[in-house]
Amino acid sequence: MKLLSILARAAIRLSIALAGVGFATNAQAQCSRVMLEKITDAYVKAQTDGKASLVPLAKGASYAENNWVMDIGKGVLAGPLKVDFTRSFHDTTQCATFTELVAATDPHPYVIHTRIEATKGGKVSKMESVVTDAGDWMFGASEHLAVTRSETWDAISTANRDTRAVLKAAADAYLDNWGDPALLVPHGTPCSRLEGRISTATRNPAGNTCDMGAFPQKLKVGHRRYVIDETLGAVSIFHDFPWLDAGLPPDQGTPASQMFRVEGGKNRYIHEVTVCTTPKCGRGK
């Protein structure tokens, strides 16, 4: 799966884009948080038990792993995982969910980010996962587990919650900065970034360590898909990360996911998982 040809990857990206067309028509559909929580609970149970049938799929639902459209029963859900930790966001405006799942003590460790779109009736219409394991960018499930467990992503009081627009703008600014290093990104103090196994908080726990600095070239981050949870001040963005994977042309992205905790309009935590088509994306990290 990590040795895709350039043409095959282009076809896969097109198929993912087409599979997501239906989401635009569902973007204004309102769903209850309780219903969405049942969906994420069902997903975690399905992965724990290795029973894809536990996911409540709608008729004609699509499923993809690392931009591969496939049968849901033939991917990572085909077998049980020893799940050590999960954290989920619930987007009641878009009828969508996001789950970070860490299986650090499984014989085959994974860190998985999963995005789900749902119908008003509580069925999964689209599901996509960024599945990372050994050889992917900065991978280290045990280290990732320790850091994510230590962070606070509790519900934010109603009076202090940011609007969807503010949350999205803070997260987008982080990715937009990759193409425009002069663009200011609203990072808080403290702010820490978790890239695979590497936490920037070790550099200065009380400071802002989320600034990226300039890449060797300006990057345009496309194919963004969002989950926004005002209750948790949380944003998930699935996208295609350009340049990073040395096994691909610089302008062709590899599957990646960023998740953000935003407080008072400023980024507090950022997590990243990124797939590599060649070991460690050919960059020895």
The pLDDT of residue 211:
95
Label residue 162 left, alpha or beta by phi (over 0 means left) and psi (-120 to 50 means alpha). beta
Positions of the chain with pLDDT under 70: 1-29, 285
The whole-number pLDDT of residue 7 equals: 38
**Within-domain flag for 1:** no
pLDDT of 29 reads: 65
Residue 268 belongs to some domain of the structure = yes
- Domain for residue 69, yes or no? yes
What's the gap between Cα 122 and its chain centre? 21
pLDDT at position 1: 45
Segment holding 100, helix H or strand E = strand 96-103
* Span 85-142, pLDDT tens digits: 999 999 999 999 999 999 999 999 999 999 999 999 999 999 999 999 999 999 999 9
CATH number at residue 149: 3.10.450.50
Quote helix, strand, coil % in the chain, to nearest 5: 30, 30, 40
| Number of domains the chain is built from | 1
CB 104 within 8 A of CB 196: no
Type of residue at 123: K
Residue 226 belongs to domain spanning: 6-282
Q: What is the pLDDT of residue 26?
A: 43
The verdict on whether omega for the bond into residue 190 sits within 30 degrees of 0, i.e. cis, is: yes
Q: Is residue 88 part of a domain?
A: yes
164 within a domain of the structure (yes/no): yes
Q: Supply the DSSP symbol for 226.
A: E
| Residues 212, 63: Cα–Cα separation, whole Å | 32
Tell me how far apart the alpha carbons of residues 164 and 233 are, in angstroms, rounded to a whole number. 9
- Residue 242 domain-assigned? yes
- Residue 46 inside a domain? The answer is yes
Dihedral angle, C-alpha 182, 186, 190, 193, nearest 10 °: -70
* pTM, rounded to two decimals: 0.91
